[in-house]
Chain A
Amino acid sequence: MDMIVQMLPQLLIDGLTLGFVYAIVALGYTMVYGILEFINFAHSEIFMVGAFAGTETLLFLQGSGYLENMPAPLALFLAVGVGMILSGLLGVTVERIAYKPVRHAPKLVAFISAIGVSFFLQDAVRLIEGLWKNAFYLSTPQLFDTSIQVMDTMKIPVKVIYIVAIAIVMMVALSLFVGKHKWGKAMRTVAQDKDTAALVGINVDAVISLTFLIGAGLGGAAGTLFSVQYTLISPYVGFILGMKAFTAAVLGGIGSIPGAMLGGLLLGLVEVFGAAFLGIATGGMIGAEYKDVLAFTILIIILIFKPSGLLGKAVVEKV
């Protein structure tokens, strides 16, 4: 019991950090799903490209000697900015090339197209990095190496504070944008009914492009933050994380922006606490390796009792 109490505070911090990363990635899934009702399987690769863009920016700054002389937060903002822009543009491009032509085909076709994009991007990044750096595992430069000792058993690394702060700012900004801004309102209209939206003079194509731009941009930012936090990236880093983030989006109620945040945080906490306590709870019968089983079980149970996710609206069937 002592052990549990001792571990609790630190696990809370670790779980929340992981949860915030999940949450921002989940936003990308949820936004696209909300509008097009399709699982953008390639979002995990957009995330990965963002991680590479951010890391390459930091590596460039490091290589040219600027990194030492500039305040670390500035470098972080720069990296996040580059990651966001590159991923955002990539997201729009992918939508134009691979999704738009199949918008009126069955939903699953777009899903397969997205898988194609995902395969392509993984190996394309590997190809580019292989030619350029002759390696495709990249190590992100250390930005902040101090931590704040909050209590005896809890230490918060400074980088986590920045990461969480940036994540929260982005989420609030997104909520405000979608809720208040003209374009945000257009987005919600398109999400409800594309045909009617077109009728009332909304440029549906532009709205969809914007959705991809924002969703992918957030994915890119998440990628950069991820690389700063965990310091090792590869072209395949997106796959598992993307699957988890999508799970988080469904858990929170897919299509719902606060739902994605809640789902992400919840999943992060469940994973970390599950990994730590499964062994203790079962007396060593099963251990940390079952954390994903726990996460998926919770998801399934929640969906059985609340089929639209935690914060999702129950879909009223149109007859």
Chain B
Amino acid sequence: MKKLLIVFLSLTLVVAAAGCGAQGSSGSGGGNVIKVATVTPLSGSQAAVGESIKNGAQMALEERKEEFKALGFELQIAPQDDQADPKVGVTVAQKLIVDDNILAVVGHWNSGVAIPSSEVYAQKNLAMVSPANTAVDVTERNLGNVNRICIRDDAQGPAGADFAYNELGAKTGFIIHDKTTYGQGVADEWKNRYEAIGGKLLGYEGITAGESDFSAVEELVRAAGPDIVYFGGIYPEGSLLIKQLKEKGIDVKFMGADGMDSAEVITIAGDSAIGTYYTSAAADINSTPEGKAFADKYTEKFGKQPQAYSGYGYDAMNVALDGIIKAINENSGEKPTRDQVTAAVRTTSGFVGVSTNVTFDDKGDNTEATVYALTFEEAKYPSAVVKMIPAGEYLK
């Protein structure tokens, strides 16, 4: 028994020493090390998206190591797992602000985690570039260090509603959302706009993320007989809904938001996905040469197709790195302070990425974001662009 305890204790010590060593090494070489952290869920049920963001960001960082070396800096990535839990997110944030070599953060995935964590970053004015937090509150708190390259819920939802009502001619709608910050957030924005422009809402129901049986809600859709179902949520539940609706023989148009922008939709729903609409900040990534190169390289490196959020992760990291380089230049080649990096990131303008172009306004929202309306014309991903809607119109 005692022996075991000793083994356990010494194991703990070794781990601690290792951690200490790791911190020590970065501390000693602290002069020229620049770290950028990614904070996404890497474990738990949301790990798939979290990982695709991290992979994208990691690729961007690795591509630009040489560039930083030329400037005399060693660029490192610090991937972190926030477990999609606000409490863990805050602890990770506190850990990050203590490491002086970390100059920017790419994250998070859940707005509920991003909001409290960004308050912590703000204490040390650490720049955060969010690839995926669409909740309105993320930038509405006017924190100088918080930026996002994705579209806000109150741009994407209304744009989707306009598209559904005007382009698809859907006069009656039915909302299903997954009761999460993201899902209900975007669904509510869609609802407000849709009703304002004259659409008639026949139902508004919540499902539980992580469940698989949505039959009751589907029967409600059948009974209501709307022109379109709008789904606020992520692709696993969304794809199941599409599939189950088809299986039940309920013929209705289906529309989602950027949570549905994933190759998995096809894997899960198969042919049923044909004719599904969704909005996203990214168009077909393969349509530009840079995007194609990115996608090929990603596939080669990670052995799977990039998801929409991989592109966002890639772009967010590049925005952050551009900001750091700018800050280095302004600091006459010396390692910049966090204040300088944060200021430089906020002035990002005219950035051209693989998923989206980026210009930040004074709140940190991306004014150049475009809402694409897309549809699966056949059972393959990426899907076809139907309409481009500048998100700036919806930004207040």
Q: Which residues of A contact B (CB under 8 A)?
A: 3, 6-7, 10-11, 14-15, 17-18, 123, 126, 134-137, 139, 142, 147, 155, 157, 226, 230-232, 234, 236-237, 239-241, 271-276, 279, 284, 287-289, 291-292
Contacts and interface: CB of A to CB of B under 8 A. Distances in A.
Contact of B213 (A272, A273, A279): A272
B385 interface: no
Q: Is the interface of A mostly helix, strand, loop or mixed?
A: helix
A10 B219 contact: yes
A98 B323 CA distance: 51
Given A232-B236, A272-B215, A288-B220, A126 B47 contact: yes
A267 B375 CA distance: 38
B172 to A, nearest CB: 15
B249 A155 contact: yes
B74 interface: no
Interface stretch (B114-122, B240-248, B339-347, B364-372): B240-248
Interface stretch (B155-163, B203-211, B276-284, B376-384): B203-211
A271 B204 contact: no
A134 B299 CA distance: 11
A7 B223 contact: yes
Which A-B residue pairs are the 4 nearest by beta carbons? A289-B206, A275-B216, A14-B215, A230-B212
B32 to A, nearest CB: 35
26 contacts: A6-B223, A7-B220, A7-B222, A11-B216, A18-B215, A126-B43, A126-B47, A134-B304, A135-B48, A135-B304, A137-B48, A137-B236, A137-B267, A231-B268, A232-B239, A239-B210, A240-B211, A272-B213, A273-B216, A275-B217, A287-B205, A287-B206, A288-B217, A289-B179, A289-B205, A289-B208
Nearest to B247: A157
Contacts of A17: 213, 215
A289 B211 CA distance: 12
Given A6-B223, A137-B236, A288-B216, A236 B210 contact: yes
A279 B208 CA distance: 16
B29 interface: no
B244 to A, nearest CB: 8
A126 B216 CA distance: 30
Contacts of B43: 123, 126
Given A240-B210, A288-B207, A276 B216 contact: yes
A241 to B, nearest CB: 8
Interface residues of B, number: 37
B45 interface: yes
B296 interface: no
Nearest to A2: B223
A134 B267 CA distance: 14
A314 to B, nearest CB: 33
B212 A226 contact: yes
B44 interface: yes
B195 interface: no
Nearest to A268: B213
B289 interface: no
Contacts of B268: 137, 139, 231-232
B100 interface: no
A273 B44 CA distance: 30
Nearest to A230: B212
A57 to B, nearest CB: 18
A3 B213 contact: no
Nearest to B207: A288
A3 B45 contact: no
Given A139-B267, A236-B210, A155 B203 contact: no
Contacts of B304: 134-135
B322 interface: no
B223 A236 contact: no
A226 B240 CA distance: 13
B219 A14 contact: yes
A272 B218 CA distance: 10
Contact of A134 (B44, B222, B303): B303
Given A137-B236, A287-B205, A292-B208, 5 more contacts: A10-B215, A137-B267, A157-B247, A232-B240, A272-B215
B372 to A, nearest CB: 24
Contacts of A134: 302-304
Nearest to A287: B205
A308 B374 CA distance: 54
B220 A276 contact: yes
A312 B262 CA distance: 47
Given A287-B205, A288-B205, A11 B236 contact: no
Contacts of A137: 48, 236, 264, 267-268
